[in-house]
Structure 1
């Protein structure tokens, strides 16, 4: 008996839910009533309906665009605080709204590079291959992000510098860094930071004359005593390597 009563109650409850749930047609009717353009027929009514729905669409687009901007701002705030994981997540969400924004891919490249260096065996399980693979995945993601930024904006000099550092100091592929850094220095002719990176690339590729020429250029610019002294010391290392071979 109790089982029968339970079944009857269940059927009644299900019927109530189904009957109370809004159907697709009822939702559409509510939308039309809200806009006051239920069934436009005349030219004037059609124009009015289009205008109202256009405004509604524009409001939606504006709100979506603002969300994307907020995610970007949030990401830069996290980046300023060196909270690279949080910044990475925020920029990923911003890209959903702005997939052709070169700045967002540049920021992803920066964050992924830092996250690669935090990919450690925190559980101390001794699985070196696991966290080494994770580190490499982040580094490759950083590379892809910089490349995407440059595809969107081929004159994005910060991305050229970023990918140059990545190739020279992280991926150990200086030959890939050279064209980006050379193009960077064609415009940013007095950027000694980029000169140091390019000189390091030349040195590791055994192009000692080119490396020395860059160190001479840094010494000539004389940005500050520390950098000038570093350039002089590095030039000596290059010359020693050159004449020892």
Structure 2
């Protein structure tokens, strides 16, 4: 007796879900129609026509959406594979296609920032190289607009600003955002110390290197921080 009841419950659930989906279509299309007719109430006849159209096209619409979802997955996989093979321009082209399907996915914009920065390194002439670097910066910024605490995007943009765009001070706020969430992020700390050093803020660079020495559990990183700290102290005090 239990099995027929369970089967009936499943059927009722599926029918309920199907009805709910159709109601959502009806609400959305009705709202669009009312907008088109400047808020006028739709007639019963027009609502019946809309319901009939939904019944006719719902399956086709669902198939098309599903097909585009699969296409988006294909472009994501292709981009990752290209990046693994260091084929960055091809990766960028695949990411562009994926973004057309998923325009609010921060990971796609982050990967686009990475790939375009790598493409820039292959450009010999200054103008094309700068164009690719500017594009990379824009992708990183968009990734952070979509996800303001995306650590990889924050760090990637900071690296780009320091080493490729030669704008170290602009990287500081992004690195501080990382350290506000991950206080012992050694990579961010090293880069922040570098930013301070390049900006002539030697005392602040010393403080950051001191923090690395105190907090890191990796001996090599502590040694590297100590060496950098010593060099700055020699610059400040003339080796005395």
- Scaled to the shorter chain, the TM-score interval is 0.7 to 0.9
Alignment partners' CA distance in 2, 1:153 and 1:222: 28
Structure 1 segments of 4 or more deviating over 3 A? 41-49
Deviation at 1:49, TM superposition (A): 4.2
Q: Larger deviation: 171-180 or 41-50?
A: 41-50
Does residue 1:70 correspond to 2:64, yes or no? no
Distance 1:203 1:43, change over 3 A: closer
**Structure 1 residue corresponding to 2:60, chosen from 56, 61, 66:** 56
Deviation at 1:188, TM superposition (A): 1.3
Deviation at 1:74, TM superposition (A): 1.2
Alignment partners' CA distance in 1, 2:47 and 2:163: 67
Residue number in structure 1 paired with 2:223: 229
Deviation by residue 1:86-116 (Cα, 9 ceiling, x = unmatched): 2111111111111111111100100111111
Structure 2 residue matching 1:134: 3-state secondary structure: helix
Deviation at 1:220, TM superposition (A): 1.4
For the 8 Å contact 1:199–1:215, the answer to whether it is kept is yes
Alignment partners' CA distance in 1, 2:210 and 2:225: 8
TM-score (norm 1): 0.74
Deviation at 1:80, TM superposition (A): 2.1
Structure 1 residue matching 2:213: 3-state secondary structure: helix
Residue number in structure 2 paired with 1:101: 105
Structure 1 residue matching 2:103: 3-state secondary structure: coil
Distance 1:228 1:63, change over 3 A: same
Residue number in structure 1 paired with 2:10: none
Structure 2 residue matching 1:190: 3-state secondary structure: coil
Distance 1:65 1:241, change over 3 A: same
For the 8 Å contact 1:192–1:223, the answer to whether it is kept is no
Where structure 1 has 5 or more consecutive residues not aligned to the other structure, the ranges are 1-40, 121-130
Deviation at 1:210, TM superposition (A): 1.4
Does residue 1:154 correspond to 2:151, yes or no? no
Residue number in structure 1 paired with 2:162: 168
Deviation at 1:136, TM superposition (A): 0.9
Where structure 2 has 5 or more consecutive residues not aligned to the other structure, the ranges are 1-44
**Structure 2 residue corresponding to 1:138, chosen from 127, 132, 136:** 132
Alignment: residue pair count: 195
Residue number in structure 2 paired with 1:14: none
Residue number in structure 2 paired with 1:210: 204
Alignment partners' CA distance in 2, 1:192 and 1:184: 10
Q: Larger deviation: 51-60 or 170-179?
A: 51-60
